Structure 1
């Protein structure tokens, strides 16, 4: 989204910042794309930690390029000579494996190489190959988790969630294959397919005489950075003849902060279509309150990590109340994920969070099962005992 000229300028700023953070005797070099290599001579790996901590803290600070404020996420992998390799190729390959481990653990961190990472890399390659085949064979599926008005019991929406069942591996967790889809670029096509499928399914529920409900679709950071995302969304709505105000797109804090200025413009254009925007997993990222006001947002989703600690941890309860207060102050709607017990529901409703989703009501189920829920209850939520 930033363009080649701004992208090149950003890489130059990153390189200069890296050089300021290492010793004069250390070597900083661009390896390719957005990857850099630092060659540092220390007596042992432990002596690298102060430098690594400085790098992570410094890379969280924004870069100012061509009038834009840009954020990057740094993931660092470390290999040491001679323990992890006696030649450059081996050391780079092993540092790369450690870097991908750092990415999988949330980015903005570092990991030292361990021999077992090579086995993990082989498993990752196998999963990537199988995922490509599954996409080609149209073997992925979309499930829908009902979103409930916890005061009235009405089904007010459904979140579309990607599912993959491999003949050999069985049900593969999205936490395992979504990062691979993002790294390989498959997420672009997969994300668009989920969007179109969800819009068509919502239209099918309505055509069956069922009450129209909001459908929510997750948007990955790479999709948000696509220059044609607004065009794709408009096309999906037109194709399904589904009203824009009944589509909600969910984005994470991290996705917004990767390029805040461009993200704000895209969200503004999407809301111009009438589409609703929700921040997913709110409270687990690093956006500031001032940034929330910049984005065109309709709803905040309280992360399941907070909800599941209700009744167990006063600190998490306080954080949950803070999120609800922020939503109220900024006039955003709010919905909670991971509502599993009636104690969760009672606490949330009592403090102003009326909508929720979670196993207390239903796991993610097929489109046909959602239709059955709506038919059997007249939009009244019921507990569904099922396994995903």
Structure 2
């Protein structure tokens, strides 16, 4: 036998105690003076353990010991390999290979046991359905390796936040489930708030600073179901309600929510028909240049008036556009309608300087957007400088090399690019240097407190300074009071929009508003032929 595979140890010789798997002092306490240690190996050479013969007298192994060992090592290897194989099978069957959290199968088994315990103790428990916001976008933009890293970190944070009796599992994809036992609805909400705070701690993925966020739905036993299938279903429905309410929302299941979920499906089907039957319209909100109080341009905002359901607010139907995969259709419709309306205004003698159009960033994944813009500008006789495309800040995560190439071609046409809701998502100043951006729109949340909060004023001024250094235009949106306007003007903001000037208006109302505010019989001709103004 290979000397490396076996060794004799003298327990009475301190020099032979090299910290091996044998405890010399313990062995001597049982009256043993020597041991013959042999390595147990698998068929592929992996070390599985050791097999040791102990002696009360210090001597070498006898012949029969060699024969015993030859048989015993094989049997031990078979037994240990079988045990390891069973453990591997159990791990594959019951645990997620990426996060090492229990999977759906183990969740169902454990949940049934926890429900039985809750029933015996007449206590309540909570099932939390957790969905990671914008995970697909992160996964597609930064790569699957970054997505896996994010999921692993989410799993670590969730596992580190629960109590001993609670249970954490990965259901599938970016969906996790936590069972809190015992727990009331109030306790589950408080725990969910702590979880959202914990998950939102920033982390680096592919050199991009990400602050993960989640939407959480809660089902309570026994109020919302007596079995895990019902509790998961209702927690899932509550989660979708939370997701539609905005980032980092928490919802507890309610039958009213369940009914509204069915309404959402009906509404989603109606939305596709709305795009085909011209139920959607555009309203336009003026943007004012603060240096001379003249019209800088207008922003086109989609509106939906259903023939039976009435007005459907954007914060309700825009998420449905994403979920139903209608983003390309809405992008095409908005661009087409905005260009048509701008041409109509100009034909009537109303030269609106610029049109800002909100589009989904998915448009830049395909060069078809370039052809569409070119054809619309040519068809309606518009200059590219009249058109600005607005995308939300999370567009930064979609900025792959291919996307940047398409954006660059769009910019080469002379069309501008604006980042909307700046400061609410995945801000990265390095990406502002990389992307061909012309304008930043400061989110309304920064402006709401600008009169009363020194911190809000400092943040707003800092962003204005950054934009000035990068030679970017900056627009303040959601300006509602004269006091807000004066603060922003003093901080160097160039453009503003909001109810301080006007709410979004239907096309004919906007034309009337412009004529009443800016035009007189003396200057109508000058206004009609003026070119779009470029800010320094």
1:293 deviation in Å?
A: 2.0
Match of 2:183 among 44, 52, 55: 44
Who is 2:428 aligned against? Answer: 288
Q: Is residue 277–residue 297 contact of structure 1 (8 Å, CA) maintained in 2?
A: yes
Distance between the aligned counterparts of 1:180 and 1:266, measured in 2? 26
Alpha-carbon shift at residue 353 of structure 1 (Å): 1.3
Match in the other structure for 2:89: none
Check whether the contact 1:69–1:261 (CA below 8 A) recurs between aligned residues: no
Which stretch of structure 1 is more off in the superposition, 237-246 or 210-219? Answer: 237-246
- Displacement of 1:61: 3.3
Matching of residue 27 in structure 1 with residue 169 in structure 2: yes
What does residue 241 of structure 1 align with?
381
* Aligned partners of 2:297 and 2:354 also within 8 Å: yes
From 290, 303, 317, the equivalent of 1:177 is 317
In structure 2, which of residues 189, 200, 217 is the aligned counterpart of residue 57 of structure 1? 200
CA distance in 2, matches of 1:69, 1:318: 25
Match of residue 351 from structure 1: 491
Deviates more, 1:167-176 or 1:260-269: 260-269
Q: 1:196-345 residue pairs with structure 2 within 5 A?
A: 196-225=336-365, 228-257=368-397, 264-345=404-485
Q: Is the 8 A contact 1:178 1:187 kept in 2?
A: no
Structure 2 CA distance for partners of 1:228 and 1:41, relative to 1, 3 Å: farther
Deviations 1:181-211 (A, max 9, x none): 2211223212210111111222222333333
Q: How far 1:109 sits from its partner (Å)?
A: 5.3
Query: Which whole-Å CA distance do the structure 2 matches of 1:111 and 1:56 have between them?
Result: 17
> How far, CA to CA, are the matches of 2:238 and 2:230 in structure 1?
12
Which residue does the alignment assign to 1:385?
A: none
Could you tell me which of 504, 519, 523 is aligned with 1:378?
A: 519
- 1:77–1:96 Cα contact (<8 Å) kept: yes
Distance 1:229 1:35, change over 3 A: farther
2:305 corresponds, among 131, 141, 165, to 165
For residues 180 and 507 of structure 2, the distance between their equivalents in structure 1, rounded to whole angstroms, comes to 58
Greater C-alpha radius of gyration: 2
> Which residue does 1:386 correspond to in 2?
none
Residues 94, 237 of structure 1: alpha-carbon distance in 2 compared, 3 angstrom cutoff: farther
Equivalent residue for 1:138, pick from 278, 281, 284: 278
Q: Any unmatched runs of 5+ in structure 1? A: 382-388
Local SS of the residue matching 1:79: strand
Residues 68-101 of structure 1: per-residue CA shift (max 9 Å, x gap)? 9696764343435554333444233222222223
Q: 1:69, 1:259 within 8 Å by CA — same for their partners in 2? A: no
Aligned residues of 2:288 and 2:496 also touching (Cα < 8 A): yes
* Residue 259 to residue 26, structure 1, CA distance change in 2 (3 Å): farther
SS in 2 for 1:279: strand
Mark the CA change 1:260 to 1:318 in structure 2 (over 3 Å): closer, same or farther: farther
Q: Taking structure 1 as reference, are residues 116 and 295 closer, same or farther at Cα in structure 2, changes over 3 Å only?
A: same
Q: Distance in 2 between matches of 1:175 and 1:200?
A: 25
CA distance in 1, matches of 2:409, 2:138: 17
Q: Name which of 219, 240, 251 aligns with 1:100.
A: 240
TM-score by length of 2: 0.60
Task: Please point out which of 180, 185, 191 is paired with 2:331.
Answer: 191
Aligned partner of residue 96 in structure 1, secondary structure:
helix
Query: What is the rounded CA distance, in whole Å, between the counterparts of 2:479 and 2:468 in structure 1?
Result: 20
1:312-346 superposed Cα distances (whole Å, 9 cap, x missing partner): 33332222222212211211111221233332332
Aligned-pair distance for 1:50? 9.0
Offset from partner CA, 1:35-91 (integer Å, 9 cap, x none): 434465744375865994487237x63544xxx969676434343555433344423
Q: Does 1:360 align with 2:500?
A: yes
CA change 1:14–1:272 in 2 (3 A) is: same
Q: Residue by residue, what CA displacement relative to the aligned partner does 1:244-281 show, whole Å, maximum 9, x if unpaired?
A: 22111111112323556665444333222221111112
In structure 1, C-alpha distance between the alignment counterparts of 2:266 and 2:474, rounded to whole Å = 39
Change (3 A) 1:121 1:225: farther
CA distance in 2, matches of 1:256, 1:6: 10
Instruction: For structure 2, list consecutive stretches of 5 or more residues without a partner in the other structure.
Output: 1-136, 161-166, 525-536
CA contact (8 A) 1:69 1:260 kept: no
